[in-house]
Amino acid sequence: MARKKSPTLTEAELRIMQALWQIGQGAVAEVHAALPDPESLAYNTVLTTLRILEGKGYVRHEPGPGRAYIYSPLVDREAARRETLGQVVRQFFDGSPSALVLNLLESEDLDEAELERLRRMIREAGEK
């Protein structure tokens, strides 16, 4: 059975997007070179992943110099984070953001400064 397409970024797609966000735009070779460990992914893998990302609406391409296409992100890092977090909330926490937050509070060791920051953010959100 074929694997269901993910509307959010897979781990491999995220690596490519991080490189693209870092350089702003570029040809496949430039995106490949911007990876933290370019030798870990083949050029063709980067090309294929960019095409997948284009199909998902995360990037677009335009003709560049010569035969190369220039790829640009259509989605910024924050929008990708929000989409992924929304997917996690829907999939694992029955659509409840508070269940996610409670799970984080129960499973993470937060220092007092981080807890105070969260308290302040909760108060500010309640004032809106």
pLDDT for res 3: 52
Per-residue model confidence (pLDDT) at position 108: 86
Q: Which of 71, 60, 67 is nearest to 30 (CA)?
A: 71
* Residues 15/35, Cβ–Cβ less than 8 Å: yes
Q: What is the pLDDT of residue 127?
A: 85
What is the structure's pLDDT at 6?
66
* Cβ-contact 31, 19 below 8 angstroms: yes
Whole-number pLDDT of residue 1: 55
11-47 residue pLDDT tens:
999 999 999 999 999 999 999 999 999 888 999 999 9
What pLDDT score was predicted for residue 77?
94
pTM: 0.78
What is the tens place of the pLDDT at every residue in 41-96?
999 999 999 999 999 999 999 999 888 999 999 999 999 999 899 999 999 999 99
Domains of the chain and CATH, by start: 11-73 (1.10.10.10), 77-127 (no CATH)
**What dihedral angle (degrees, nearest 10) is formed by the CA atoms of 104, 106, 110, 113?**
90
